[in-house]
Amino acid sequence: MLRLNNVTMKFGGVVAVNEFNATIDDGSIVGLIGPNGAGKTTVFNMVTGVYKPTSGDITYVKGGKELKVAEKRPDQIAKAGICRTFQNIRLFKELTVLENVFIGNHLRIKSDVISASLRLPNYVKEEKAFIDKSEYLLKKVGLYEERNELAYSLPYGKQRRLEIARALATDPELLLLDEPAAGMNPQETIELMGFISDIRKEFNLTIFLIEHHMDVVMGICDKIFVLDHGVLIAEGNAQEIQNNPRVIEAYLGVD
């Protein structure tokens, strides 16, 4: 579904990511790990169009057609089926839980500004469909009862779920999760693992995630890539990564 070929990102004289190669298969859960500053979020920013790679190419395959990500704007990439959450939660905190998810549907709206302003029948019908869809997603992520509460009032773990529900409202095929377990307690982390596996099946998703909680990565990922100072040092399944000397050195150092 996604191919990164010799992708490099430079900021002035600093090489944040250096000739990174990765393939993400349709329907898989893939992890991207590495010490702080390894370049993980930079990879996500390139995949979603926030940054244009200095060199290399990123190809998204959908319906047998290839999309060159570096040639598209972030909104075009999202509309093609790639959506993300963020390391630091970015909800519309003064809006309700339902309104946050409703906004995610805007990417798929067909009505024009005039129809919306005058609330013409075609817009009203579309709005009703989006509300129904948003409520359905909130039920799936366990937030339906809180739908009329303001987003900032939710506990941290539920805010994470809300951000994922908003991403799901865009109808993604490839969902990028940037440290979804950050700030969660052990019980919330266990619940998150089951939740990610469930939404993968429920919504037929491919999931690409960055995570520092190794229990999450090793427990749910089919494949794992390891970055260190912008360089890919290992890839493989959980057991292969756990036993890789270069990964152990990157995380623990050497005597």
- 29-33: strand order across its sheet: 82-84, 174-178, 206-210, 29-33, 223-228, 231-236
Residue 36 domain-assigned (yes or no): yes
Do 233 and 129 share a structural domain? no
192-223 pLDDT per residue, tens:
899 999 999 999 999 999 998 888 999 999 99
Task: DSSP letter for 153, please.
Answer: G
At 146, give phi and psi (nearest 5°): -100, 15
What is the β-pairing status of strands 206-210 and 174-178?
A: parallel
109-122 pLDDT per residue, tens:
888 889 888 899 99
Do 118 and 237 share a structural domain? no
Q: Is 159 a residue whose pLDDT tops 80? A: yes
Asked if 220 contacts 208 with a C-beta cutoff of 8 angstroms, the reply is no
3 state DSSP class of 40: helix
Rg (CA), the chain: 19
Do 163 and 118 share a structural domain? yes
Tokens of 193: 């693992």
Do 255 and 176 share a structural domain? yes
CA distances from 82 to 74, 151, 174, 203 (A): 9, 24, 5, 14
Residues 6+ apart with CB under 8 A from 60: 1, 2, 66, 67, 69, 77, 80, 81, 82, 174
Task: DSSP letter for 161, please.
Answer: H
Q: Is 255 a residue whose pLDDT tops 60? A: no
Distance between CA atoms of 47 and 58, rounded to whole angstroms?
A: 7
Residue 254 domain-assigned (yes or no): yes
Do 147 and 180 share a structural domain? no
Single residue among 154, 171, 188 that ends a domain in this structure? 171
Number of domains the chain is built from: 2
pLDDT number for residue 252: 66
Count CA atoms closer than 13 A to 199's CA, side-chain side.
28
Do 251 and 183 share a structural domain? yes
Do 162 and 198 share a structural domain? no
Single residue among 136, 153, 171 that ends a domain in this structure? 171
Residue 222 domain-assigned (yes or no): yes
98-157 pLDDT per residue, tens:
999 999 999 888 888 898 888 999 989 999 999 999 999 999 999 999 999 999 999 988
Do 66 and 182 share a structural domain? yes
Do 230 and 191 share a structural domain? yes
H helix or E strand, kind and range, residue 23: strand 14-24
Do 230 and 195 share a structural domain? yes
Single residue among 171, 200, 230 that ends a domain in this structure? 171
Residue 166 domain-assigned (yes or no): yes
**Longest CA–CA separation in the chain, Å:** 71
Return the CATH number at 37: 3.40.50.300
pLDDT number for residue 251: 76
Q: Is 254 a residue whose pLDDT tops 70? A: no
Q: How many helices (H) and strands (E) does the chain have?
A: 10, 10
Do 186 and 77 share a structural domain? yes
Do 177 and 104 share a structural domain? no
Task: DSSP letter for 231, please.
Answer: E
Domain that holds residue 7: 1-81+172-255
Residue 71 domain-assigned (yes or no): yes
